[in-house]
Amino acid sequence: MPEAVLTEATQEAARTERDLQLYYAMKLIRSFEERVSRLHRQNKILGGVYSGAGQEAIVTGVCAPLVEGDFVAPLHRDLGVFLARGVDPGVLMAQLMGRVGGLSRGKDSFLHAGDLSRGVFGATSMLGASLPVAVGAALKFQLKREKQVAVAFFGEGTSSRGDVHEAMNFAGVRKLPVLFVCENNRYAFSTPIEKQMAIEDVAQRAQAYGFQGYVCPGNDLLSVLELSERLIGRARQGGGPALLECKTYRYHGHSEHDPALYRTKEELLEWESRDPIPQFERYLERKGHDLKRLREEVDARVRAAIQAAVEFAEQSPLPAPQEALEGLYAP
């Protein structure tokens, strides 16, 4: 077989393998989110639950091009970032249940959880406050001439905060290797987008900071992936920051205790018709996959992984009272 043909076949096999990994990642994230919502209603989750159901294509597509050593600052709704970056589902579930087996050994809820061994920085209740931290990581990469990049997720409501402006301004001045990802799901808690910004796209603001802003359909995994690969690759080579705005929608309320009465059923149905998972399934089917068989296989893997995660978390003990006095200071 000619070398060119062999290379093409190898590349196609690699693309197919990646497609299947991305499909599994989105299905795992969606099912994990759904199980967490049910567990919350059973009073098994400690702390708030902020579902990202409907937004899986964003975290999956943005995290796919990242490598070891890169830095990610997720939002409170980005539980999927942890799974995409390789955090064990059982450890993540234990974190949500406040168990010793979790990331912070039962000392905090998911909202502030992080895993620096995988480059995942813990979110904060003050949304947007993690952007300056991501910019600081990018500055470190630049000063040390490292090829790593930082990614900072935020929402369209968060984009009106001062620390978001400061982070983007500094990143533009120093041409830092950072990608700002806006998950624009149209509502800042209950405030619709037209009542909190006078422009059509958050991405328009990038020009004022000296770099480019891009808009893509956040429910289209292939669009998110294509842009994030390009922008992260450019940042890795010294091309500076960029702002990627992903238009999307959250299926649940701001949190599990929010019935979201401020939106219409028609609006929800419209966005559910653009669900990222069926969209990607249509792509896989057109590429020749037996979708029925593939879906059954992936669903079985996902069910097993999530059930194992719940069992691990429930078997992990709650922290002992005296552990509250441990880990108060750095060694």
- Sequential pLDDT tens for the chain (331 residues): 566 666 877 888 888 899 999 999 999 999 999 999 999 999 999 888 888 899 999 999 999 999 999 999 999 889 999 999 999 999 999 999 999 999 999 888 888 889 999 999 988 778 889 999 999 999 999 999 999 999 999 999 889 889 999 999 999 999 999 999 999 999 988 989 889 889 999 999 999 999 999 999 999 999 999 999 999 999 999 999 999 999 999 998 898 888 888 999 999 999 999 999 999 999 999 999 999 999 999 999 999 999 999 999 999 999 998 888 888 887 7
Spatial separation of the C-alpha atoms in residues 146 and 165, rounded to whole Å: 25
Contact present, 242 and 234 (Cβ < 8 Å): yes
Of 61, 104, 59, whose CA–CA distance to 82 is shortest? 59
Spatial separation of the C-alpha atoms in residues 2 and 236, rounded to whole Å: 34
Q: What is the pLDDT of residue 202?
A: 95
For residue 316, the one-letter residue type is S
Q: What is the pLDDT of residue 108?
A: 84
Long-range CB contacts (within 8 A, 24+) of 278-281: 279/57, 279/219, 279/220, 279/221, 280/22, 280/23, 280/26, 280/57, 280/221, 280/222, 281/23
- What number of CA atoms fall less than 13 Å from residue 223's CA on the CB side? 14
Q: What is the pLDDT of residue 3?
A: 63
Q: List, as one string, the DSSP characters of 21-48.
A: HHHHHHHHHHHHHHHHHHHHHTT-S-S-
* Domains delineated in the chain: 23-313 (3.40.50.970)
Contact present, 206 and 144 (Cβ < 8 Å): no
Q: What is the pLDDT of residue 256?
A: 86
Contact present, 65 and 232 (Cβ < 8 Å): yes
Q: What is the pLDDT of residue 284?
A: 96
Q: What is the pLDDT of residue 299?
A: 97
Buried b (16+ CB within 10 A) or exposed e, 231-242: bbebbbeebbbb
Q: What is the pLDDT of residue 9?
A: 77
The three-class DSSP label of residue 190 is coil
Q: Is the pTM of this model over 0.75?
A: yes
Q: What is the pLDDT of residue 112?
A: 85
**Residue 198 is encoded by which pair of tokens?**
């006078």
Q: What is the pLDDT of residue 47?
A: 84
Contact present, 276 and 284 (Cβ < 8 Å): no
Q: What is the pLDDT of residue 6?
A: 62
Q: How far is CA 122 from CA 3, 134, 201, 256, 258, in A?
A: 47, 11, 27, 21, 23
Of 26, 115, 34, 8, whose CA–CA distance to 64 is shortest? 26
Q: What is the pLDDT of residue 298?
A: 97
Contact present, 17 and 291 (Cβ < 8 Å): no
Residue 322, judged by CB atoms within 10 A of its CB (0-12, 13-18, 19+), counts as exposed
Beta strands in the chain (DSSP E): 71-73, 150-155, 178-184, 187-188, 191-192, 213-217, 242-247
